[in-house]
Amino acid sequence: MVRIHDTLDAAASVSGSTSHATQQDETTGQAAFDLHLDEIPLEREQQADAGPSHAVVSVDVEDRLDTVNQQPDMKLVVVSNRVAPFDPSKPQTGGLAAALEPVVERSGAVWMGSSEKRGDGTEQPLPLVKTGAGDVARLDLPAADYPGYYRGFSNSTLWPALHSLPDRMSGSEEDYGSYRKINDFMARAAFDLGDRDAFWVHDYHLLPLGADLHKLGIERPTGFFLHTPWPAPDMIERVPHHRELMTSMLKYDLLGFQTNRDLNNFLACLQTHFGLESKDGVVTSERGQTRLRKFPIGIDPKQFAGYLAADLSPAEQEKISSLLQNFEGAKFAIGVDRLDYTKGIDKRVEAFNQLLAAEPHSISLLQIAPSSRADVEEYQKYKDDVESAINHVNAEHGTDEWSPIHYRNDSFSQAALARLYRAAHVGVVTPLRDGMNLVAKEYVAAQDPRDPGVLVLSKYAGAAEDFNEDEALLVDPNRPEEIAAAISKAAHMPLEERVKRWRSMMDKLESYTIHDWSADYVRELDKGRVTVPADQFQYLGLGWTNEAQMPLYQNYAEALTAYNEIDPSDAALKEAAYADVRSAFEALAAPLKHTQDRLWDLPAATASLASRRG
C-alpha cells in the first residue's frame, strides 16, 4: 500500500517545531525571613518622622530580587537505578535517557546509577567518567543485596502495587532489607557530591534515597520524580512498610508525578494514612514542607523526525523491509511494549481474536515485545501465555498465505521503530496502567501529516490525560471488546477526521517537549535552593531564605502595609489589621522552621556581603 511504499522508498520529512510551553510557575514575590513577629516591634517598621510606611523591603533590595528569577545553571546530581549508555552510535531508548542525557552533557550535571557489574559492598571512590560538560558515575552495587533490591522488593512488590495489580505481588522481609541497604549504599556513594547544588532522584527503586541523604547530613534541595503511577490508599497499604516509605518520601523537597491522578492518589494516601492535608500543592510534616507537582513527561518531535531520516544498517534495513512486506495490500496495527504484564498485551491479542471473528482478514497486528526481566518467573510465565494466545489466534484466523499477528521478541532501534510507526494505520497502546507511555506520543510524532494513522489508547495510561477522546480513541484495557471496536473504528476512519485528531495531538507534543519537562522540574527544584542572604533585607535577621517561601512573604508585606496605613486613633481597626499581620507571619514562619536548620556555607562570591555586617 502507499503508506508502506512511502516508508520503504524514502525517509519522510516530518516538519516539527518545538515551542516551550508557557511557564506556569507562580510569580515569586519578596523574600521570607526568619525572625519571630513578636521580636519585631511594629514601631521600627514605621518611619519615625513621617506618615505610614511601606513594607520593609527597600528599592535597592527589590532591584536585587529581580535576579532571583534568573537562576544560574544548577550543579545537579541525577540519581537513578540505571544510567543511559551515552553511546552516540545508538539512538536514545527511552524517556529518562532522552530527557537527562542533554542535561548532563550540557549543564555539567553528574548522573549516578548502577553499572552492569556487582561488587562486594565496600565503599570505593566515586568513578566519575566525563561526558560532555558533565560526568557519569556507574556503581557496582553489592551482589549480596542486589537480587532482593531489584528482582525482589522493587519489581515483585512495588512494581505490581504501583500498577494496582495486587495478585502479582510477592516478596519477603529480606527483600525489603536489601532494598533499604542498596538505597543506603547509593546515598553513601553520593556523599562525595554533597557540595553540589541539588539532587534529582528518579523512580520507585529509590523512594527512600532522599531520607538517606539527609541522614548523612546532605542538606541540599532534593527532588524525586516517579515515572510509574501512584495507586489509591487501599492499594498502597498492601505494600510492607508503606508508612515508612511514604515518610521517607516526605524528606524530599519536591515530589513530581506524571499525572493529576497520580498526584491526587498520593495526597489521598497522605490524608488516609497520616492525616496530612495539602494546601496549594504543599504538605507540611514534622520534617517541614514538601511541594508536590505534576510534570507530564514528553518526547522531542523534532528528534523523532530525525529518526525517520536516519540511516539504518543494512541488516536492520533488511529486517524492516521484510516485516513490512508481510502487510502489502492490507492494513495493520502496531503495538510496541516491553513483555510486561502491566502492558495488557494478552488483552490486546484477545481483542484481535474477537475483531477477526467479526471482520475476517480486516487487519493485522505487528506486536513488538522484547523480553523484560526474563529471569523472573512471573515474567517468563506471562511470556508463555502471550505467545500461546498469539499462536491460537493465528491458528484460528490465519491461512497459509496470511497471518493475523506478527510477533517479534527482539529490540529495534528508534530509527527502525519510527518507520514502522509511520507505516502502521493504527497505533495500539493499551497498558493496564502506565505512568505515561511514550510509545503513544512517538506513534503520533511519526505520522505522515497528509495521511496519519489513529491512536487507540488505554484510558489508564498517563498519556490519556494529555490526549482526550476527541484526539485518541480511549478504551478500557481490561475489556477486549472495547479495544476491538476501537481498532475497527480506527481502521475505517475517514481521512479528514484522522487529520483533525492527529493535528491536535501533534500540537500538544510540540508545545511541551521532554526538554520542557526537564527544565520545568529543575526550575521548580531550584526554588528550594538557598538563594538570597537575609542581610539584603532590613530587620530580617541573619538567616537565609529560599525562593519557595517568597510568595508567603508578599502576603505578610501586604498585611503590614495595610496595618501601617491605618490611622492610629482607630484602635479597633488597628487591632484587626494587626491580627492579619500576625496571621500572615505565622503562615510564613511555619515552613521556615526547618529552613533555619539548613544554613549553607557562604560561597566565596557571597562572603564579601557577609563581611559588611556590622
Active-site residues, by number, are 227, 434
As a whole number of angstroms, the distance between CA 139 and CA 167 comes to: 33
As a whole number of angstroms, the distance between CA 73 and CA 82 comes to: 24
As a whole number of angstroms, the distance between CA 394 and CA 399 comes to: 8
What's the number of CA atoms in the CB half-sphere (13 Å) around residue 247?
Answer: 9
Q: What is the DSSP string of 569-607?
A: T-HHHHHHHHHHHHHHHHHHHHHHHHHTT---PPPHHHH
User: Which of these, 422, 512, 546, lies nearest to 99 by C-alpha position?
Assistant: 512
Q: How would you list the strands of the sheet with 473-475, edge to edge?
A: 405-408, 364-368, 332-336, 426-429, 454-458, 473-475
Cβ contact 418:442 at 8 Å: yes
SS3 366: strand
As a whole number of angstroms, the distance between CA 554 and CA 537 comes to: 14
As a whole number of angstroms, the distance between CA 243 and CA 229 comes to: 18
How far from the centroid of its chain's Cα atoms is residue 265's Cα?
A: 16
H or E element at residue 456: strand 454-458
CA distances from 341 to 165, 361, 502, 546 (A): 10, 28, 29, 44
What's the number of CA atoms in the CB half-sphere (13 Å) around residue 229?
Answer: 26
Cβ contact 294:225 at 8 Å: no
288 torsion bin: left (phi>0), alpha (psi -120 to 50), beta (else): left
Q: What is the DSSP string of 270-337?
A: HHHHH---EETTEEE-SS-EEEEEE------HHHHHHHHHSPPPHHHHHHHHHHHHTTTTS-EEEEE-
Percent composition of the chain: helix, strand, coil (DSSP 3-state, to 5): 45, 15, 40
322 torsion bin: left (phi>0), alpha (psi -120 to 50), beta (else): alpha
Which amino acid is residue 52, in one-letter code? P
Phi, psi of 255 (to 5 degrees): -115, 125
Residues 6+ apart with CB under 8 A from 553: 29, 30, 31, 32, 33, 545, 588
Cell of 249: 518520601
What pairs with residue 365 in β-bridges? 333, 405
As a whole number of angstroms, the distance between CA 420 and CA 8 comes to: 10
DSSP state of 452: -
DSSP state of 364: E
526-549 as b/e, with b when 16 or more CB fall inside 10 Å?
Answer: bbbbbbbbbbbbeebbebbbbbbb
As a whole number of angstroms, the distance between CA 187 and CA 112 comes to: 10
